[in-house]
Amino acid sequence: MLNQLVLVGRLARDPEIRILTDGRKVSDIVLAVQRGFKNMEGTYDTDFIKITVWEGLATATESYCVKGTMIAVKARIQTYKYELDEEKKLNMLEVIAERITFLSGTSKFEEKEEN
């Protein structure tokens, strides 16, 4: 069996790390991924995909990426159930990053030095 997803796109906003109560680091990044075909108006649509990034990957992404940085993400999809009330339950999908390759851009530190 295989659960693997590869996405290439640009960050839609700067990454921000949250520290959980147990001390683990997590970041939710949004990747803008252009579709490979044109719509009825003759333009390319873009999907904005939320990706959860944990621990060292979250730290590296926050250090080296800003909005607009192009990255490649190897990820997996996992599911969880979300209960709205006793009668309504949603099955949700979550994209979890396993590896990130930085394809463009400079680190935040280099960007600050240039200004």
Give the pLDDT score at 85: 80
> Residue 10: is its pLDDT beyond 90?
yes
How would residue 82 be classed by pLDDT, with cut points 50, 70 and 90?
confident
Among candidates 51, 49, 58, which has minimal Cα distance to 18? 58
* Euclidean distance between CA atoms 85 and 99, whole angstroms: 36
* Euclidean distance between CA atoms 115 and 108, whole angstroms: 11
Mean pLDDT score, 86-102: 91
Domain segments of the chain as ranges = 5-114
Indicate the pairing of strand 44-54 with strand 25-38. antiparallel
Report percent pLDDT > 70 for the chain. Answer: 90
Give the fold, CATH level 3, of 5-114: OB fold (Dihydrolipoamide Acetyltransferase, E2P) (2.40.50)
